[in-house]
Amino acid sequence: MLLTLEHPDLHWYFPLSKPRGVRPNKLAEAMEEARYDTLAERRESPLRPSSAANEPTGLYLAVAQTLRSQAQRRPAVGPRQVFVIGDAETLVPQESSQEAANALLKILEEPPASTFLILTSSEPGLLLPTIRSRTMPLHLPPLQLDRVEHFLVEVGGISPEDARQAASLGRGSIGRALGFLPTDGEAGPLETLRVQAFELLSAATDSDAGAVYRKSLELGTTRSRGLMPLFELLEDVLRDLSATASGTPKDLINRDQEDLLERIRDRRDIHPVTVAKAFGHLEDAKELVAGNVSPQLIVAGLLTGIREEFIGSP
C-alpha cells in the first residue's frame, strides 16, 4: 500500500494550482479533490517526469488548514501516521504564503504524539526561519549517475545512450532525468526548458543588444513563478560555461553542447571569474521571481546583467 500511495496513514501533500472559479469557502474542498486526482494519476503513471506547471502552484492556506485538521485525527490503521509535505518552500513565495506557513507552524510546534511530519525541499533556504527552527534537517545526496542510468535502462526501457544523457542532465534525480526524455513523440518538458536556457545564454552573448529584449518578450504569458525551472537549467548552463572556461570539459552536465559552449567562450573570451559574477545576477533574478515581478522584466534584467559581465555595457 505504501508503494502505491494508498496506505490510509500515509498522507502526501504537494504544490497544486488553484482551481478556477471556486468560491473561497469551497477552496479547501476543491484543493483536496485536486490532490486526490493527482495521486490517482501518479498511481497510474509512477514514472512521471519532473516538469514545470503551466499555472502557478503552491501549498496554499486552504491546503495547510486541511493538513492541520487531518493531522489532529487518529491514525486509521497503525499506531502512527506520516505526513509528507513536498516542495515545502512553496509555502513561502506564493499568495497567502505567510498565513499558510503559520498554519503549518502550529502543527509543527505541538504535533500529536502519533503524527510524524516530513518536509522535503530543494530550496531549504526559502523556508521561513521559524519552520527551519522547528525541524531537523536531513540532507539526501543525489544518486550516483550510473545508478540512475541503470534504472532508466532496466525499469524505464530507455536506450543506454539516451539513459546516459538523461542521467547526466538529471544530476542524480530519476524524476528529473525522465523530464529530459521524449514523451509521446515530443521533447520532454525539461528538455524544452534546456533549449530555452541555451537560447538565453546565446541572447546574453549576442553582439546585438536587442537580442536580450527580444528573447524576454518571447516569454509571452509565462508567469514569474514558472521561471524557476528555467533558471535552474540556466544555472547548469552557466556551470558548464565555467567548466569550459576553466578547461575542464569532463565536468560538463550538458555534454552534448560542448562545441556550442566552446564557441561562446572563444567568441567572448570568457573567464571563470566573469561567469562567477553572472551567477550573482541569476540569484538576484530568483529573488525577484519570489516577489512575483513581471517575468519579462526579470529576464531582461538578468540577461542584461550577464551581458554586461561577458561583453560590457552597450
pLDDT (tens digit per residue) in 73-85 = 999 998 999 999 9
Q: What pLDDT shows up at residue 49? A: 64
Domain ranges of the chain: 10-132, 141-174, 182-310
Between 248 and 3, the higher pLDDT residue: 248
Q: How many CA atoms lie within 13 A of 282 on its CB side?
A: 22
- Give the residue-averaged pLDDT of 48-67: 72
Residue with cell 496506505: 7
The pLDDT value recorded for residue 107 is 84
What is the Cα–Cα distance from 174 to 179, expressed in whole angstroms? 9
Share of the chain above pLDDT 70, in %: 89
- 55: cell is 499555472
| Model pLDDT, residue 94 | 46
Q: Mean pLDDT across the stretch 212-238?
A: 84
Distance (Å) of CA 96 to CA 109, 159, 279: 20, 45, 30
* Inter-residue contact 75 to 48 (CB < 8 Å): no
Q: Give the mean pLDDT of 226-233.
A: 88
3-class DSSP string for the chain: CCCCCCCCCEEEECCEECCCCCCHHHHHHHHHHHHHHHHHHHHHCCCCCCCCCCCCEECCHHHHHHHHHHHCCCCCCCCCEEEEECCHHHHCCCCCHHHHHHHHHHHHHCCCCCEEEEECCCCHHHCCHHHHCCCCCCCCCCCCHHHHHHHHHHCCCCCHHHHHHHHHHHCCCHHHHHCCCCECCECCHHHHHHHHHHHHHHHHCCCCCHHHHHHHHCCCCCCHHHHHHHHHHHHHHHHHHHHHHHCCHHHCCCHHHHHHHHHHHHHHCCCHHHHHHHHHHHHHHHHHHHCCCCHHHHHHHHHHHHHHHHCCCC
Residue 264 has pLDDT above 70, yes or no: yes
Sorting pLDDT into bands at 50, 70 and 90, what band is 93? very low
Q: What's the pLDDT at 95?
A: 47
Instruction: Pull the grid cell for residue 80.
Output: 502512527
Query: Per-residue pLDDT averaged across 141-166, rounded?
Result: 94
Query: Which range (90-94, 205-209, 234-238, 271-275) has the least confidence?
Result: 90-94
Give me the mean pLDDT over the 268-277 stretch: 94
Residue 280 corresponds to which amino acid? G
- Burial class for 236, CB neighbours closer than 10 Å (0-12, 13-18, 19+): middle
Q: What integer pLDDT is reported at residue 97 of this predicted model?
A: 52
User: CATH: 1.10.10, 3.40.50, 1.25.40, 2.130.10. Which one for 10-132?
Assistant: 3.40.50
- Over residues 161-203, the pLDDT tens digits come to 999 999 999 999 998 999 999 887 888 889 999 999 999 999 9
pLDDT for the residue numbered 98: 63
* C-alpha cell read off for 183: 514523451
pTM, whole model, 2 decimals? 0.79
Q: Where residue 46 falls among pLDDT bands split at 50, 70, 90?
A: confident
Q: How far apart are the first and last CA of the chain?
A: 61
The phi, psi pair for 193, rounded to 5°, reads -70, -35
What's the CA gap between 109 and 134, in Å, rounded? 7
Cβ neighbours of residue 235 closer than 8 Å, sequence gap 6 or more: 279, 282
- Per-residue confidence (pLDDT) for residue 289, from 0 to 100: 81
